[in-house]
Amino acid sequence: MTDNADKLKGLIFNIQKFSLQDGPGIRTTVFMKGCPLVCPWCSNPEGMRNEPEVMVTERKCIGCKKCEEACGPGAITFVNDMRQIDWNLCTQCLECGKVCPSHAIEIAGEYRTVEDVFNVVNQDSSFYSNSGGGVTVSGGEALMQWEFVLELFKKCKRAGFHTALDTTGYCVWENMEKVLGYTDLVLFDIKSADPEAHERITGVSNNMILENLKKASEMTTVWLRIPLTPGFNNSAENMRATAELAAGINAEKISLLPYHEWGRTKYTRLGRQYMYDGSDTSLAADSETVTRCMKILKEYGLNVEVGE
């Protein structure tokens, strides 16, 4: 690899060590920022936009007012020693996050080189070899930064690491194909088998996604991930359509991911509103619904589990 490839930068919002949910064994998961989908239930909203942004934790604020002084647009004020942010005025200049001493204001997203990220994941190489684990790149949508992922995976494969790509599949196939040449496993998210419903909720059609899924399954091992979302994709009809899809590509495993709102508080911290109507969450959360979906998938001879 050339020095230029090592110095290629990607926008990262988290590197999670000792991950047990993103592929086999103990893994390090690199979260890339930016996603072409706008799923309203997304549990990592800080990964949706393809630029660094302000993320606040009010309980950490010590009232020093350095952020107010640094805020050129005047979006931050203190009233009775309580910080207030007018998100309509915020230009994401990030100056407040640079001066906050207590990390009550942080910057979600940092540009890091391939070499830097590889040095981080390489720290846990012994865990990978002992557990059958490796490195997973997730998002956001990792393939929005496919060149970075490609160069990172090249280094990982040279080091003997197992590589996994967690993707929505919404990308140009030629770019995905390049990355898959260095990918041992694809964790492929399937939101819905229905093109109209998929576009209505996520903002994009699933036509390219399903085409890429078929092609990817011909190149490497595929696990499907299905987020069970109330009022969207947990119907028996959609589950049968998804089962047919999974059987058609010989997916090695299907993971059902019951709906949750663990990421809801992140929206407030980013100055956004959680948009998905959670009034019917019991449909996805209760064991009866999960069991029904598992039964349908297993009728097609598929290997199904809950979680991961």
pTM listed for this prediction: 0.93
- Please identify which residue in the block is written with the tokens 């260095």: 182
Q: How far is CA 225 from the centre of its chain?
A: 12
Structural contact between residues 216 and 170, judged by C-beta atoms closer than 8 angstroms: no
Q: Which residues pair with 116 in a beta bridge?
A: none
Q: Which amino acid is at 294?
A: M
pLDDT in tens, the chain (308 residues): 457 888 999 999 999 999 999 999 999 999 999 999 999 999 999 999 999 999 999 999 999 999 999 999 999 999 988 999 999 999 999 999 999 999 999 999 999 999 999 999 999 999 999 999 999 999 999 999 999 999 999 999 999 999 999 999 999 999 999 999 999 999 999 999 999 999 999 999 999 999 999 999 999 999 999 998 888 898 899 999 999 999 999 999 999 998 888 889 999 999 999 988 655 544 445 678 888 999 999 999 999 999 86
Structural contact between residues 292 and 304, judged by C-beta atoms closer than 8 angstroms: no
- Quick one: pLDDT at residue 1? 45
Return the axis-axis angle of helices 207-217 and 173-180, rounded to nearest 10°. Answer: 30
Per DSSP (E only), the strands in the chain are: 9-19, 27-32, 53-56, 76-79, 82-85, 105-108, 110-113, 134-138, 162-167, 185-189, 221-228, 253-258, 304-306
What's the CA gap between 72 and 65, in Å, rounded? 13
Residues 6+ apart with CB under 8 A from 149: 10, 32, 137, 142, 143, 165, 179
What domains can be seen in the chain, in order of their start residue? 3-50+113-306 (3.20.20.70), 53-108 (3.30.70.20)
The tokens for 34 are 């930016």
- Quick one: pLDDT at residue 283? 43
Helices vs. strands in the chain: H and E counts, helices first = 13, 13
What's the CA gap between 292 and 289, in Å, rounded? 5
- Quick one: pLDDT at residue 207? 96
